[in-house]
Amino acid sequence: MSYPRDFYFQASSGEIRGLQAVNKFGSNPDVDIASTPETIWSSGGLYTFPASGGSISVVSSSANDTAAGTGARTIVVEGVDENYIEITETFTMNGVAPVISSRNTWFRAYRAYVASAGTGEVNAGETTITLGAITLATIPVDLGQTQMAVFTIPQDKKGYIMSVTGSILRTGTNRSSNIGLYCRGNGVKRLRYEFTVETTGATTFTKHFKSPIVIDEKTDIYLNAVDVSSNNTIVFGSFTVLVQ
């Protein structure tokens, strides 16, 4: 018996040669009126894109995240080098002592996750990935995966943004947030789409683009909470991009 094949399933599974489906999602746990705009990622504040590449450092806030510990034992980091070529590196954790990349020159790191763990099954402390003084990514405690709506289109590729989603947590007083989808390339930042979510109406918004937003190679894509109506607002966001 044969079954109909879904295009997105085929893209995600690698059945369509040269096409990759990427979902980037993140949350910012505390956005205040005076601090906006803030990027939707777990570290809070505006995301900083490095101007040059180098070695990255991976460190935990817990001594249990070690090669033989109960927490995270190895962490995989994904990103691109200075030529925007995709790279991946596995780091064996050493608790609160930083582990330095040994074989790659990193320029962007847009995803990291726990690849192996002890009896705790996940990272015991917050994992921080830095390039010099710049924080590239964090894995919040007990989540095992970065929470960052940030991505970079590799060299010789094009991106096609298929959808974008945003939401806020319904807590206390009525809240709202404007969320912007931005692209950054060739020294230019550009707003590509903007929408509002609010607790008095729809707390979640999703937009599927019938005509995808086309993104050139070497372009950063990210979501910002442009503004919020109340302090301590928790903002979530995600986007799906096909890379070819």
Tens-place pLDDT, residues 80-109: 999 999 999 999 999 999 999 988 899 999
User: Is residue 2, in this structure, part of any structural domain at all?
Assistant: no
Are residues 43 and 156 located together in one domain of the fold? yes
Cis peptide before 140 (omega within 30 of 0): no
User: Is residue 1, in this structure, part of any structural domain at all?
Assistant: no
Beta strands in the chain (DSSP E): 20-31, 38-39, 57-60, 72-81, 86-92, 99-100, 106-117, 127-131, 134-139, 150-152, 159-168, 176-185, 188-198, 204-215, 220-228, 233-243
Mean pLDDT of the chain: 93
Assigned token pair, 148: 């960052």
Percentage of the chain exceeding pLDDT 90:
85
Domain boundary among 87, 115, 139: 139
- What are the pLDDT digits (tens) for 102-161? 888 999 999 999 999 999 999 999 999 999 999 999 999 999 999 999 999 999 999 999
Are residues 61 and 182 located together in one domain of the fold? no
State pTM to two decimals. 0.91
Domain boundary among 99, 115, 139: 139
Q: What is the mean pLDDT of residues 43-61?
A: 97
Measured between alpha carbons, how far is 133 from 50 in angstroms, rounded to an integer? Answer: 10
Q: Is 200's pLDDT higher than 80?
A: no
Give the structural domain span for 157: 7-47+150-243
| DSSP character at residue 94 | B
Is the Cα dihedral 139, 29, 179, 53 positive or negative?
negative
The residues pairing with 133 across neighbouring beta strands, listed in sequence order, are none
User: Is residue 52, in this structure, part of any structural domain at all?
Assistant: no
Q: What is the pLDDT of residue 5?
A: 58
Are residues 75 and 194 located together in one domain of the fold? no
| pLDDT-derived band at 1, boundaries 50, 70, 90 | very low
Domain boundary among 107, 139, 171: 139
| pLDDT-derived band at 14, boundaries 50, 70, 90 | low
Give the residue, 169 or 38, on which the prediction is more confident.
38
Q: What is the mean pLDDT of residues 157-179?
A: 90
Q: What is the pLDDT of residue 3?
A: 47
Instruction: Count up the domains in the chain and report the number.
Output: 2
